[in-house]
Chain A
Amino acid sequence: MEQFAHLLDRLLYAPQKITKLKLMADYFIHAPDPDRGIALALLTGALDLKNAKPALIRQLVMQRVDPDLFRWSHDFVGDLAETVALIWPERATNAAPPRLGELPEQLAGLKAPEAGEQLAGWLDTLDATGRWALLKLVTGSLKVGVSARLAKAALGDAFETSVDEIEEIWHGLEAPYEPLFAWLEGRAPRPDMSNRAVFRPLMLANSLDDMELVKLPLADYAAEWKWDGLRVQLAARGSERRLYSRTGDDISAAFPDIVDFMTFEGVLDGELLVVREGEVAPFDDLRQRLNRKRTTAKMLQQHPAHIRLYDILFDGTEDLRGLGFEARRARLEAFWGREQPERTDLSELIPFDSVEALEALRAGSRSAQSEGLMLKHRHSVYQAGRPAGPWFKWKRDALTADAVVMYVQRGQGRRSSFYSDYTVGAWRDGEEGAELVPVGKACSGFTDEELKKLDKWVRDNTANRFGPVREVTQSLVVEVAFDSVHRSSRHKSGVAMRCPRFHRIRWDKPAEEADRLESLEKLID
């Protein structure tokens, strides 16, 4: 437990991905089975140990600590689990600390008051970091900034195996993953997943700019719309049906309206969209269906999910990934015609005969509810990752607006000494005349040289400090590029930009001439 607790503690503070990767890889190499397997399950979200409510934790500590001292401590520390971890009276005990690998089994089926006694017994055996980790795990409030993908990537790094190879068997495995570790350590063959609906790593496209387009042998490429939804994979084998995100997260539970209708066998590649009466809804409609623990009937009815199919990887058990794009497309059309899978359609191929025709198509993509165009080499085999050459995405031009810098924060990792996170605002009429309201936060799009200049500007123009946040004088205009605008109840302005980034810094432009909120509201699609 303590080894894992110290990993979590370090992950909590590590600002850079590369640091997190190294910390986790080091743990996976050195921790024993089955502890590391349970750790992997906890980090990837495949398992949780949620078993106690904050009230139970509070009750346990109140039996041991003076109430006034606890109250002052809680006020000072802020977080309940952390306060309890720190204040817990240490006493000599002969009991051994809990083993991470045994925790899920020991916790399962434990109910209060036994759960409280067991927890207290464990807390007596752990150090402060161990107590913190245990309390965070059992209250289900652990956040260390690690995604499932990152944890798997660390596992790949640890044993010099590509993360794609791990992904391909991942969803057929269960904690504590001993056959996985045995394979990674060369002690056993790769677990056989041929009968499981596992995730197959996706093929991704490179960005294309206008210059490169001219050089491309266009006759060799097929074009289709780049739909603005969520790239997904549908995998069905036997009775097992799963919907995977681009990174291999199993999102089946949130989309019963897709999974329930996967009556075929095979693996398909497509775009998850909300479609009403044949019309693709804005991305924001889909966003509301994501990250939900429970999907209500109302949600299913008002935000109906739909799959627009791009590609086929397996037809039944036949692996088609070695075929060229056109051959796979023919198989996809045949498959679709045969199976008639509900709530799906085929992403149409768009005929074109010249660069000009393509440019005209792309220019119209915003009204077509698409993000731009995809260009796929007619003979491209389906390769995991982002190979250079066969597939390109050619996004529609970004929208832009002139916004005023309002608040700035330091960045993370390499940027921790620079003010690099910029909250920008647009003008509206307030009670006391024109006022700025935040519309987005941009953290990229500038060069290192520009960042140095911006950093100096922030330091010279700070009006107020709120902890780590600096409010600056309302005097710097930035031309911000963004993909779209949607309504947001979390922003005071009522709108939020999608993927805002710096396009140009308008050192010369007076702040009064920046854009007004109304002009952004008009862009909501």
Chain B
Amino acid sequence: MAKAARRASWIKVRPEGLFVEPGGFYVDPTRIVDRAVITHGHADHARRGHGAVAATAETLDIMRVRYGKTPFKISQTLRFGEKINITGVTVWLAPAGHVLGSAQVVVEYKGERVVVSGDYKRRPDRTCIAFEPVPCDVFITEATFGLPVFRHPDDTREIATLMHSRELFPERCHVIGTYSLGKAQRLISLIRAAGYDRPLYLHDSLLPLCKLYQAYGVDLGELLPATADEKGLPRAGLEGEIVLAPPPSISDSWARPLPDPVICMASGWMRVKQRAKYGGVELPLVISDHADWDELLTTLDDVGAPEVWVTHGREEALVHAARLKGMEAQALRLIGYEEEA
């Protein structure tokens, strides 16, 4: 039996990342290139210094906030569903539900449709537009939580645990380690949804992106800087309050002035006890902005692609599970993408 021609052979894996050859552009390149389409603003997907960048308005703004005046030479803003033609290749974006402005990149060429999903999740999130499955021939997916042990619990219960802990330890402050883009704002919106309306105190590095979210109309309630002086150390009087800070700060010298902090960490990895213990976390919160195992598999069913390519994470298990479903599957072994903190 003759072997069928490989699907989407016009997409290449290069050291810079995923290259759409007939269009002459990369998707989320990890090195500096001339033309890039960017799925979302996390630093490993949106590097600084590309020539031309196409992305959603939110993603471009996130890059501007993070990288200052010259994150790229020129940019093209794409609305979801808006089709553009790059030297014969049709490109459009669909929501990915990962962080504000996050998109899947849909690429169509010679009758084949490939979806580069970037990072995504399927859970409701008030801070970004929900993932929309796009039927395609090849679905390119992440596998950050690509093992069946990763099944994120209900967010509201994780927040309830946090609130209960706050009642139990009113004299202590709860400091939550959280990534500055996406996780922080999602966490804040979940805390607000639980009816908590006191001010939340933020490490300086979290404030700029929260302001951007607010400018895009995401309601985050009252946010105050956790720091009071030019040294950047926490202010006094944070007993009973909730403080958000990037993960490296919560158990290091920055956190020392906090009143007997309960070290919390919001991450999908917190599902594994050793991961939490190892990081000195006292209250793990299993909250992630990535798809869990069930969501990854559901998504494969939803897009109905005969073939799946896995970019990063625990590729072998997802490839194996896709094959068990009768799909063709392979790991691309793209380097340079980081795991969720």
Q: Please tell me if the beta carbons of B256 and A72 are within 8 angstroms of each other in the complex.
A: no
CB of B255 within 8 Å of the partner chain? yes
Contact with A along B142-165 (1 / 0, CB 8 A): 000001111101000000010001
CB of A257 within 8 Å of the partner chain? no
| Interface residue from B150, B153, B282, B317 paired with A13 (Cβ < 8 Å) | B282
Contact A416-B149, Cβ < 8 Å, known A12-B273, A72-B316, A77-B274: no
A72–B319 CA distance with the chains assembled, in angstroms: 13
Chain A residues whose C-beta falls within 8 Å of the C-beta of B252 in the assembled complex: 417
Contact with B along A37-68 (1 / 0, CB 8 A): 00000000000000000000000000001101
| Interface residue from A23, A87, A412 paired with B148 (Cβ < 8 Å) | A87
Q: Please tell me if the beta carbons of B169 and A22 are within 8 angstroms of each other in the complex.
A: yes
Q: Please tell me if the beta carbons of B253 and A468 are within 8 angstroms of each other in the complex.
A: no
Q: Which residue of chain B has its CB nearest to the CB of A75? A: B147
Chain B residues whose C-beta falls within 8 Å of the C-beta of A15 in the assembled complex: 280, 282
Contact A13-B147, Cβ < 8 Å, known A23-B168, A79-B274: no
Number of interface residues of A (CB under 8 A): 36
Q: Please tell me if the beta carbons of A69 and B168 are within 8 angstroms of each other in the complex.
A: no
Q: Please tell me if the beta carbons of B282 and A87 are within 8 angstroms of each other in the complex.
A: no
Q: Please tell me if the beta carbons of B149 and A83 are within 8 angstroms of each other in the complex.
A: yes
Chain B residues whose C-beta falls within 8 Å of the C-beta of A78 in the assembled complex: 274
| Interface residue from B169, B251, B316 paired with A417 (Cβ < 8 Å) | B251
Chain A residues whose C-beta falls within 8 Å of the C-beta of B281 in the assembled complex: 13
CB of B283 within 8 Å of the partner chain? yes
CB of B263 within 8 Å of the partner chain? yes
Q: Please tell me if the beta carbons of B168 and A22 are within 8 angstroms of each other in the complex.
A: yes
Chain A residues whose C-beta falls within 8 Å of the C-beta of B333 in the assembled complex: none
Q: Please tell me if the beta carbons of A417 and B277 are within 8 angstroms of each other in the complex.
A: no
In the complex, what's the smallest C-beta–C-beta distance from B331 to chain A, in angstroms?
13
CB of A26 within 8 Å of the partner chain? yes
Which residues of B (144-192) have their CB < 8 Å from a CB of A? 147-151, 153, 161, 165, 168-169
Q: Please tell me if the beta carbons of A73 and B148 are within 8 angstroms of each other in the complex.
A: yes
Chain A residues whose C-beta falls within 8 Å of the C-beta of B283 in the assembled complex: 10, 13
| Interface residue from B273, B278, B320 paired with A69 (Cβ < 8 Å) | B320
A410–B284 CA distance with the chains assembled, in angstroms: 19
Q: Please tell me if the beta carbons of A82 and B272 are within 8 angstroms of each other in the complex.
A: yes
Q: Please tell me if the beta carbons of A19 and B148 are within 8 angstroms of each other in the complex.
A: no
CB of A128 within 8 Å of the partner chain? yes
Q: Please tell me if the beta carbons of A68 and B149 are within 8 angstroms of each other in the complex.
A: no
CB of A205 within 8 Å of the partner chain? no
Q: Please tell me if the beta carbons of A468 and B153 are within 8 angstroms of each other in the complex.
A: no
| Interface residue from B251, B273, B280, B324 paired with A79 (Cβ < 8 Å) | B273
A77–B272 CA distance with the chains assembled, in angstroms: 6
A388–B147 CA distance with the chains assembled, in angstroms: 59
Chain B residues whose C-beta falls within 8 Å of the C-beta of A12 in the assembled complex: 273, 277
Chain B residues whose C-beta falls within 8 Å of the C-beta of A66 in the assembled complex: 320-321, 324
Chain B residues whose C-beta falls within 8 Å of the C-beta of A417 in the assembled complex: 251-253, 255-256
CB of B276 within 8 Å of the partner chain? yes
Contact A416-B153, Cβ < 8 Å, known A13-B282, A72-B316, A79-B274: no
Best-buried of A13, A22, A65 by chain B (most CB within 10 Å): A13
CB of A86 within 8 Å of the partner chain? yes
Chain B contact residues: helix, strand, loop or mixed: mixed
A124–B161 CA distance with the chains assembled, in angstroms: 23
A414–B282 CA distance with the chains assembled, in angstroms: 12
Q: Please tell me if the beta carbons of A19 and B277 are within 8 angstroms of each other in the complex.
A: no
Which residues of A (413-437) have their CB < 8 Å from a CB of B? 414, 416-417
Q: Please tell me if the beta carbons of B149 and A77 are within 8 angstroms of each other in the complex.
A: yes
Q: Please tell me if the beta carbons of A26 and B168 are within 8 angstroms of each other in the complex.
A: yes
CB of A14 within 8 Å of the partner chain? yes
Chain A residues whose C-beta falls within 8 Å of the C-beta of B273 in the assembled complex: 12, 79, 82, 132
CB of A467 within 8 Å of the partner chain? yes
Q: Please tell me if the beta carbons of A467 and B278 are within 8 angstroms of each other in the complex.
A: yes
A76–B316 CA distance with the chains assembled, in angstroms: 13
CB of A127 within 8 Å of the partner chain? yes
In the complex, what's the smallest C-beta–C-beta distance from B36 to chain A, in angstroms?
32
Which residues of A (218-272) have their CB < 8 Å from a CB of B? none
Q: Please tell me if the beta carbons of A128 and B151 are within 8 angstroms of each other in the complex.
A: yes
Chain B residues whose C-beta falls within 8 Å of the C-beta of A6 in the assembled complex: 161
Contact A416-B280, Cβ < 8 Å, known A69-B148, A87-B149, A127-B153: yes
Which residues of A (4-25) have their CB < 8 Å from a CB of B? 6, 10, 12-15, 19, 22-23
In the complex, what's the smallest C-beta–C-beta distance from B339 to chain A, in angstroms?
12
CB of B271 within 8 Å of the partner chain? yes
Contact with A along B274-303 (1 / 0, CB 8 A): 101110111110000000000000000000
Best-buried of B161, B271, B282 by chain A (most CB within 10 Å): B282
28 contacts between A and B (CB under 8 A): A6-B161, A13-B276, A15-B280, A15-B282, A19-B169, A19-B282, A22-B168, A22-B169, A26-B168, A66-B320, A66-B324, A69-B321, A70-B148, A72-B316, A72-B317, A76-B149, A77-B149, A77-B272, A77-B274, A79-B274, A82-B272, A86-B150, A86-B272, A128-B153, A128-B271, A132-B273, A414-B260, A417-B251
**Which A residues are within 8 Å of any B CB, using their own CB?**
6, 10, 12-15, 19, 22-23, 26, 65-66, 68-70, 72-73, 76-79, 82-83, 86-87, 90, 127-128, 132, 410, 412, 414, 416-417, 467-468
**Which B residues are within 8 Å of any A CB, using their own CB?**
147-151, 153, 161, 165, 168-169, 251-253, 255-256, 260, 262-263, 271-274, 276-278, 280-284, 314, 316-317, 320-321, 324
Given contacts A12-B277, A127-B153, A417-B251, 19 further A-B contacts (CB under 8 A): A13-B276, A13-B277, A13-B283, A15-B280, A19-B169, A19-B282, A22-B168, A66-B321, A69-B148, A69-B317, A77-B149, A82-B273, A86-B271, A90-B151, A128-B153, A416-B280, A417-B253, A417-B256, A467-B278
